[in-house]
Chain A
C-alpha cells in the first residue's frame, strides 16, 4: 500500500501531541508501518505547531512535504490555511473554526484573513469545518478539542469503531476517559 499522510496542525499548547499519539497507536495496531514526527521545545510556546503521521507498508521519511498530505487536521483556521500547500490535490481538510490571533495580528502588524473556509474551498480543497470548541465544551472540557477532531477524522478512515475506541482507552488517562469518549462521539456525529 502507498504511504498515507496525515498532518495535525494548530497552536502550541492545543493538545496535538495526544492526537498524534492516539493516531499512531491506532495505526500500529492495524499492522501498518508507522512514523510520527513532532516538534517539542520553543515552538510549543503559542507558536505554529505541526505533527506528521505517516503509515503504510514501509514508511521512510518521518515528515510530510508540500503536496503530499491526504488529510490535514487543524485545531485553528489560520493554521489550516498556513499548511494548505501541503495538501494533495484530492486531499481533505478537517478543521475547527476556532480563530486565535497570532501576535502580529494582536499588535496590528498583520490582518487575520477573512472567510478562510470559503477561500480554501475556492482553491479546490475539500474542507470539513466545524465548531470543535463548542462541542468539546459540551463534552465537558475545552481541552477535548483533539478528540472532537479525531471523531470527525474517523469519517475519512475505513477503520472499525472498536479500533478507535481501543486506541482512546490506551492513550487517555482513565480519569478523563468518559469525557474523551463523549468528545469523540460528538465530533463523529456532528
Chain B
C-alpha cells in the first residue's frame, strides 16, 4: 500500500519488515522518530537507553543472542558509541545489526555538523545512504541482509532532509528471519589481543569483498543523460537537488552505499564524461576517493563544505539558471528559538545571571539560557561536559572560581554522561556546585522518558533512579532540591551552595510546562495603573511579556501563569485573570 511516510518512520517500517526484534536508542534530532515509530510495532522490543554507547552494546548483545537488532542516534551520538562500533567491526555479528545515524547539515538542532561517513571508514564497516523515504525503507532491509551475509554491523546514514521529509513508500509484510541460535565462539567474540590479531585481517578481507559487491550493487545506480559535457557523482539528498535542477540532462552516478566505494564503477563513469563533478554535502568525501583513484573532479573547489545544499545552490554552482524572489526594504528581525513561556529553567537562569555566576552549560533546551537577556552560560560543548568541565575550571582557578561557578545539566543529559563527571568531582575533590535541571523528561527532542522519570518508552511504569540518593551515594553531603518558580528559594540555594566549602548538588525540580499532565494556571494580566514601566519583568526573557506604550503587556495566548515575572514586579502590577487557562 502506498503511504506518505517520514524518512525516520520508513526506517522503522524497514525494521519491522526485516524482522528486527530489539531496538535500543538514545534520542537525538534528527534521529529520534525512528525509535518512536518502531515502538508502535508490537513485534519489536524498543527502549530508550541512557546513552548511545549503552544502546549500541545492548543491540550487540541482542544480535549475539540471535535477534536482528538496531540502535539509532544522531551524528554526535555516534562519537559516544564509537568505542563499541570500532570493535564490533572485528567481532562481526550473529543476527543482523544495523546502526542508524542521522547527520544534521545546517545544524538545525546540533552543536556541530560532522560528517558521519568518516566513522564508516575509520571503523571499517559498510554504510548505506538513502536519499528519500522509499530508499530509507528498502536500505534498512538490505542492511540486514548485508550484515548477515558479510558478518558485520552496517551503518545506515540518514540526514535531516531525509529523516524529516515525508515521501511516498510502498510497504510490505514482515518476514521473520530464520533463527540464529547463539553459539559460543571465544575466538570471534572475545576481543583480547590474541583473538583480535586474527580478526583484523578478516575485517580487511571483508572490505575487499564489499568493494566487489558494490561494483555491481543495484543501489549504486548509473542514470544515463544525453549531455556528456558533465557527469555527476552524488548521493543522499544532494542527488535529489541534482535531479531537481538537471532532470535527466546529464549522466548521474547515484551511490546508495557511502562506504566502501566502488572503484571500477567510478573510474568507468569518469571516463564516459568530459568532466566529473561531485555533488555532496559537508566533507569532500567522495571527491577524496576520486582523487585517490587518480581522477580530478570538480567538487569542493566550488561547492561549500558547510551548511545544507538546495536546488538553487546546486544550480548556481553548476552554472545553470537560478530562481530569485523579491524582498522588502525593511529589516526583518530574526526569530531565534527561546525558552517557552512558563519554562521551569527560566527562574534558575535568572538567578544565575543575577548572581553573576560563571556557568558551564550542557546540551538540551536549557542551552537557551545562553540567549539574551538571561545570557547565563559560558560554555557548551557536548553531553556531560558541564560537570567534567567545572571540575577542571575549578582545579585550574581554585577558590577564585569555586565560589562563583556552577555547572547546569538536564536530568536526561545527567543520566547520559553527567554521572561520570560527578564521580570525578567526588573522587578528585573539587569544590564544585552542580545544578541538575530536573524537568522530568528529555525535553529538546520532544519528550522522551529517561531513567529518572519512572516510565519507559511506552509510558508504562519502569525503574526510577532517585537523583538525591544517587548523589549522596557518590559522597555529596550537600544535596538540596529547589522549585525554580520560587526565585527567593533559588537565590538562597545558589548563594549558600557557592559559599559552602565542599561540593554540592542543587536539583532544580519542576516538570516541563509542555507535558500534558502539567496543570497550567490562568494567564496573568498587567494592571496598567500600577505598572510604572520599569522593565524589571523584562529581565527574564519571557516570550509572553512585551512593552506596549511604556507598560508591560502579557500575551494571554502564551502565558501559563507561572508567576516568575510577578516576583520581580516592585509595584505588584501582575494579577491572575479569572478565566480558565
- Can you name the residue of chain A whose Cβ is closest to the Cβ of B29? A41
Looking at the assembled complex, report how far the CB atom of B131 sits from the nearest CB atom of chain A, in whole angstroms: 9
Interface flags, B148-183, vs A, CB<8A=1, else 0: 000000000000111011111000000000000000
The answer on a CB contact under 8 Å between A63 and B310 is yes
Q: Which of A120-128, A146-154, A155-163, A173-181 contacts B (4 or more CB under 8 A)?
A: A120-128
Interface flags, A77-93, vs B, CB<8A=1, else 0: 01101101111110000
Given the known interface contacts A42-B444, A66-B325, the answer about A82 and B340 at a Cβ–Cβ threshold of 8 Å is: no
CB-contacts of A36-56 with B (<8 A): 36-48
Total interface residues on B, using CB and 8 Å? 60
The answer on a CB contact under 8 Å between B323 and A37 is no
List of A residues within 8 angstroms of B244 by Cβ = 60-61
Other-chain residue from B312, B328, B339 in contact with A66 (beta carbon distance below 8 A): B312
The answer on a CB contact under 8 Å between A107 and B326 is no
CB-contacts of B80-136 with A (<8 A): 108-109, 132
List of B residues within 8 angstroms of A142 by Cβ = 557
Looking at the assembled complex, report how far the CB atom of A92 sits from the nearest CB atom of chain B, in whole angstroms: 14
Other-chain residue from B109, B325, B335, B557 in contact with A79 (beta carbon distance below 8 A): B335
CB-contacts of B322-353 with A (<8 A): 323-340
The answer on a CB contact under 8 Å between A125 and B311 is no
The answer on a CB contact under 8 Å between A107 and B444 is no
Taking each of B2, B538, B546, which has the highest tally of chain A beta carbons within 10 Å of its own beta carbon? B546
The answer on a CB contact under 8 Å between A39 and B325 is no
Interface: A24 (CB within 8 A): yes
- Can you name the residue of chain B whose Cβ is closest to the Cβ of A143? B557
The answer on a CB contact under 8 Å between B311 and A39 is no
Other-chain residue from B327, B329, B332, B545 in contact with A78 (beta carbon distance below 8 A): B332
- Can you name the residue of chain B whose Cβ is closest to the Cβ of A10? B335
Looking at the assembled complex, report how far the CB atom of A68 sits from the nearest CB atom of chain B, in whole angstroms: 5
Looking at the assembled complex, report how far the CB atom of B473 sits from the nearest CB atom of chain A, in whole angstroms: 34
Given the known interface contacts A39-B160, A103-B371, the answer about A24 and B109 at a Cβ–Cβ threshold of 8 Å is: no
Taking each of B160, B167, B446, which has the highest tally of chain A beta carbons within 10 Å of its own beta carbon? B167
Given the known interface contacts A78-B335, A113-B331, the answer about A85 and B546 at a Cβ–Cβ threshold of 8 Å is: no
The answer on a CB contact under 8 Å between B311 and A105 is no
State the CA gap A63–B162 with chains docked (Å): 11
List of B residues within 8 angstroms of A61 by Cβ = 240-241, 243-244, 310-311
The answer on a CB contact under 8 Å between A111 and B333 is yes
State the CA gap A107–B338 with chains docked (Å): 12
Interface: A190 (CB within 8 A): no
List of B residues within 8 angstroms of A38 by Cβ = 164-166
- Can you name the residue of chain A whose Cβ is closest to the Cβ of B364? A42
Interface: A18 (CB within 8 A): no
Interface: B543 (CB within 8 A): yes
The answer on a CB contact under 8 Å between B326 and A40 is no
Given the known interface contacts A67-B325, A103-B543, the answer about A110 and B330 at a Cβ–Cβ threshold of 8 Å is: no
List of B residues within 8 angstroms of A60 by Cβ = 240-241, 243-244
Interface: B69 (CB within 8 A): no
State the CA gap A24–B335 with chains docked (Å): 27
Interface: A65 (CB within 8 A): yes
List of A residues within 8 angstroms of B328 by Cβ = 81, 84, 113, 116, 119-120, 123
Interface: A166 (CB within 8 A): no
List of B residues within 8 angstroms of A40 by Cβ = 29-30, 32-33, 109, 164, 446
CB-contacts of B351-383 with A (<8 A): 365, 368, 371-373
The answer on a CB contact under 8 Å between A47 and B323 is no
List of A residues within 8 angstroms of B452 by Cβ = none
The answer on a CB contact under 8 Å between B334 and A45 is no
List of B residues within 8 angstroms of A67 by Cβ = 312, 323-325
List of A residues within 8 angstroms of B546 by Cβ = 101, 105-106
The answer on a CB contact under 8 Å between B326 and A84 is yes
Looking at the assembled complex, report how far the CB atom of B68 sits from the nearest CB atom of chain A, in whole angstroms: 27
List of B residues within 8 angstroms of A123 by Cβ = 326-328
The answer on a CB contact under 8 Å between A39 and B164 is yes
Interface: B4 (CB within 8 A): yes
- Can you name the residue of chain A whose Cβ is closest to the Cβ of B28? A41
Interface: B541 (CB within 8 A): yes
Interface: B445 (CB within 8 A): yes
Given the known interface contacts A42-B29, A45-B368, A125-B326, the answer about A62 and B237 at a Cβ–Cβ threshold of 8 Å is: yes
Looking at the assembled complex, report how far the CB atom of A13 sits from the nearest CB atom of chain B, in whole angstroms: 7
Taking each of A13, A47, A106, A109, which has the highest tally of chain B beta carbons within 10 Å of its own beta carbon? A106
A-B contacts, 13 listed (Cβ < 8 Å): A35-B167, A40-B446, A42-B444, A61-B241, A61-B244, A62-B165, A65-B323, A82-B332, A88-B325, A101-B546, A103-B543, A109-B333, A110-B333
Q: 18 additional contacts, CB 8 Å, given A28-B4, A84-B328, A100-B543?
A: A24-B4, A28-B3, A36-B165, A37-B165, A39-B164, A40-B32, A42-B29, A43-B109, A43-B337, A65-B312, A81-B332, A82-B335, A86-B325, A102-B333, A102-B336, A106-B545, A107-B541, A123-B326
Binding site for A on B (CB under 8 A): 2-4, 29-30, 32-33, 108-109, 132, 160-162, 164-168, 237, 240-241, 243-244, 310-312, 323-340, 365, 368, 371-373, 444-446, 538, 541, 543, 545-547, 555, 557
